[in-house]
Structure 1
Amino acid sequence: MIWNKYLVEERKVLGINGAAILLIFVSLYMHSKLVLYLAVFFLAVSITNQLYLKRIGEGVSIDNITQKKRLFVNGKSEWTITIQNGGFPILKGELKVFFDHFVAPESSQIESNLFMYEISVPFSIYTQKTKQIRIPYTAKMRGIAKIRKLEIHIPSLFGFGETVLESKHFLKQLAIVYPEPLPVKGLTEQISIFQGTNAVPHSLYEDRLGPVGTRDYVQADSFNKVHWKASAKSQTLQTKIYETISEIGWNIALNVSNGHSITGSLEKLISGLTEFAYYAYKRNIPYSLCVNVRTAGNTPFLYLAKGAGKEHLQMVLETLSSINLQNTSMPYDQMLSFFKNHLPEQPFFIHAGIRKDTTNKLLFDMGKRGIRLFELFIEDEQGVVLRGLENRNERRLSI
């Protein structure tokens, strides 16, 4: 751990130095050794105090371990901070930890300030010793909490000032608080017919790995489909019947913006998408996720490729947890255009959030290509609803 080091000396030290110098002149004038010894004592205290403040903290380090803890709301865990001291002993020191307000310390008397908690822990540690400090906390709301700053305050030997060690880097400990699911009206009704197996009643594609039956041959059938063994048994040409299949997959697009700000319905929309994520996980429905939050890389927004299963669910929940009011959003229409031109489309598409006239045009262009469109929206500022996307002329939906 690399530190910024600050020395804080009280004004009393200047008074002590001034008094010592004055006593030296008085001792010379009075020819008094006692006054001179007293002056030397004051100077020794002042110099020792200053040297201690300069040297203390050297050899102090923190084990910056990588640790990621995943929690649900009201889940409990703890920050673990291990201090190693290779320098002078630290007596009556104080460790100050600053972390995001998504998790709260167990003490009910501590309040968050500017979206952050500050907690102080007294400690002492001798030379060549290691001390582990645990700070328990409870998950309070969706988000990713980090230890933003760490300070060690070391008082001087005589109480005149202190040395402050301030960490230059964040600690690599994370607390990821997953969003809570919110029941979505219409989810089962809209999606149940597409869940499970990829077999569908009507499709241009067939599963050629094995026929499921035969029927009488007609002139339009290809000879490649003739089932010769069945034809020999029945003495008439028989055509193989294959199971019709279709790729089952969903694209989910979340619009977090409302003009130049983040939508006020962000939490409910994220909770609705969380419900869909659990639903898709239980029924093995593959889906991708894109959110118009700017990121660095080839894809300029938050994007998770199509996937299914437990690992994909975990990545989706972590992505949804990472969205916050401090994110920089990109125009939703720009994200949809990039998605259309560069990313794979799925047979079904769910839009969530504000949509404008220009957004409607992009979405219904997808519909013309055979993609089924759905919308996740807030109904009466209460429940979350999934329904087929309606083509409505609107500047902006207030949700």
Structure 2
Amino acid sequence: MMNWIRYEHGFKAIYNGMLLTLTLFLLCAVFGLSTLAACFASVFAMLAFQNYYFSKIGEGLTVRFKAKQKRILIGHDEELIMEFENGRVPIWNGTLVLSMEDSVAPKNLLMKNFSGIYDIYIPFAIGRHETTEIRIPLEGKKRGKSRITRVLLEIPHMFGDGSVNMELKDVVSYKSIVYPRITKLGRELTPSPFKPGEFQQRQSLFVDPFQPIGTRDYMPNDRFDQIHWSASARMQKLQTKEFQPISAQMIVLMMNALEKDRGYHDFEAKIERLVAYADYCTKNEIPYAVAINLRTLGGRPYLFIPSGSGKLHFQEVMEMMAQISDRYAKMPFEEMMKHMESSGQLSPTIILISHVQERFQRIVHQWERRYTVTVDTSFERDENGWEKPELKMTGTDSVIPSA
């Protein structure tokens, strides 16, 4: 049984009309005016029926949403399906009003909204003990969550002015989550040469002892346990094992949400750039973590998603990116950088999605001695306009591009 809040308008006029027609009917009956008495009796019966009908309307009316949550991308479609089941009293000539947040909107809707809420008006009628289904095609408009904030049923009086409005009191569990737009990264990420890992690389300080790739002539600085004795016996001279060069390719994506001279569109562009990195890492099976300087409750004062890989990790990132807002409280970006360094959360490869600022360049220069660091400002330009940074003398791309 669902709970509805009833708002009744125009019933005072009905009561006054019933009283007036009843009085006139009695007067006509007393003076023997049978024709007028019959007319007033008909009007009285009509008003009495309307009063009784609208006092019982909506009893036993229930609504069920076929899905509790849907996930879509910007520009993609979904369908809101509602199933109504009525009680004993039919409903005629009603109007269903749905109010929903504007991350999604009715498909092909030309109207604009300025309050963050769309109001959708749907003609509504249902018979006695009848079940009917309403389908509304929706389209993802922007990143975020969209909930149904109000379900209202307006039923106008059949005779005269007035209506009965029924507002659903129960909380609607249905919501849509619109993921950020996924774009191509426009570049390739190379493994960091500073730490050992599991990714193959032509030039690295580290090798994988479990992946021999051949032999070479012995050199005086080679270790004794690296000598290949069988090959040495065949070649009649000492041979040393050669192994596959490897390096680490774990990545941490750090986004600066605190840009006082920037606005909503700048925040959205950074989100899309971060998602492009996450999509690239997922497709190439590269573990990655995400850090954004938005205030959160708990031991860590900023938003942080631990390192992971695969589709489940990507979905977790997309869920979080769909729910955050630029209105959240923020902390200075350099404070988050220092906290991540002190807590050991840095990865061999660090991507900073931020405008270039003097406040944290000193920290970046310190990190470049131990990590591969890139400050990505490509969101300032076209999404395919990535400019490959020049290589430093170390052979890495750990350089800050000019703004």
TM-score normalised according to structure 2 size: 0.76
Mapped to 1, the partners of 2:207 and 2:261 lie a distance apart of 48
- 2:391 pairs with 1:390: no
How far off is 1:70 after superposition?
2.0
User: What is the 5 A alignment of 1:302-341?
Assistant: 302-341=303-342
Contact 2:154–2:163 (CA<8 Å) still a contact in 1? no
Task: Please identify, of 193-202 and 141-150, the stretch whose mean Cα deviation from structure 2 is larger.
Answer: 193-202
The structure 2 residue matched to 1:17, chosen from 15, 18, 22, is: 15
Identify if the C-alpha distance between structure 1 residues 77 and 245 changes in structure 2 by more than 3 Å, giving closer, same or farther. same
- 2:246 pairs with 1:245: yes
Contact 1:56–1:88 (CA<8 Å) still a contact in 2? yes
How far off is 1:165 after superposition?
2.2
Contact 1:142–1:180 (CA<8 Å) still a contact in 2? no
Contact 2:181–2:272 (CA<8 Å) still a contact in 1? yes
Identify if the C-alpha distance between structure 1 residues 121 and 226 changes in structure 2 by more than 3 Å, giving closer, same or farther. same
Mapped to 2, the partners of 1:192 and 1:292 lie a distance apart of 26
Identify if the C-alpha distance between structure 1 residues 181 and 167 changes in structure 2 by more than 3 Å, giving closer, same or farther. farther
For structure 2, the residue ranges without an aligned partner over 5 or more in a row are: 390-397
Aligned counterpart, 1:118: 119
Mapped to 1, the partners of 2:84 and 2:110 lie a distance apart of 26
Task: Please identify, of 238-247 and 336-345, the stretch whose mean Cα deviation from structure 2 is larger.
Answer: 336-345
Mapped to 1, the partners of 2:5 and 2:206 lie a distance apart of 69
Mapped to 2, the partners of 1:332 and 1:4 lie a distance apart of 48
Aligned counterpart, 2:137: 136
Mapped to 2, the partners of 1:146 and 1:366 lie a distance apart of 43
**Which amino acid in the other structure matches residue 349 of structure 1?**
I
How far off is 1:83 after superposition?
1.7
SS at match of 1:363: helix
Identify if the C-alpha distance between structure 1 residues 208 and 109 changes in structure 2 by more than 3 Å, giving closer, same or farther. closer
SS at match of 2:212: coil
Mapped to 1, the partners of 2:380 and 2:72 lie a distance apart of 33
Mapped to 2, the partners of 1:58 and 1:336 lie a distance apart of 59
Mapped to 2, the partners of 1:53 and 1:337 lie a distance apart of 66
Aligned counterpart, 2:352: 351
Contact 2:254–2:351 (CA<8 Å) still a contact in 1? yes
Identity %: 24
Aligned counterpart, 1:214: 215
**Which amino acid in the other structure matches residue 140 of structure 1?**
K
Identify if the C-alpha distance between structure 1 residues 5 and 277 changes in structure 2 by more than 3 Å, giving closer, same or farther. same
Mapped to 2, the partners of 1:281 and 1:29 lie a distance apart of 86
Identify if the C-alpha distance between structure 1 residues 381 and 212 changes in structure 2 by more than 3 Å, giving closer, same or farther. closer
Mapped to 2, the partners of 1:280 and 1:334 lie a distance apart of 26
Mapped to 2, the partners of 1:254 and 1:22 lie a distance apart of 73
User: What is the 5 A alignment of 1:36-185?
Assistant: 49-50=50-51, 52-64=53-65, 65-73=67-75, 75-156=76-157, 158=159, 160-181=162-183, 184=186
- 2:6 pairs with 1:6: yes
How far off is 1:136 after superposition?
1.4
User: What is the 5 A alignment of 1:226-375?
Assistant: 226-234=227-235, 237-259=238-260, 262=263, 264-296=265-297, 299-342=300-343, 344-354=345-355, 356-368=357-369, 370-375=370-375
Identify if the C-alpha distance between structure 1 residues 127 and 303 changes in structure 2 by more than 3 Å, giving closer, same or farther. farther
Identify if the C-alpha distance between structure 1 residues 98 and 301 changes in structure 2 by more than 3 Å, giving closer, same or farther. farther
The number of residues matched between the two structures is 385
Mapped to 2, the partners of 1:88 and 1:355 lie a distance apart of 67
SS at match of 1:293: coil
Mapped to 2, the partners of 1:263 and 1:360 lie a distance apart of 25
Contact 1:92–1:155 (CA<8 Å) still a contact in 2? yes
How far off is 1:352 after superposition?
1.3
Identify if the C-alpha distance between structure 1 residues 151 and 113 changes in structure 2 by more than 3 Å, giving closer, same or farther. farther
TM-score normalised according to structure 1 size: 0.77
Contact 1:256–1:263 (CA<8 Å) still a contact in 2? no
Mapped to 2, the partners of 1:333 and 1:54 lie a distance apart of 64
**Which amino acid in the other structure matches residue 371 of structure 1?**
Y
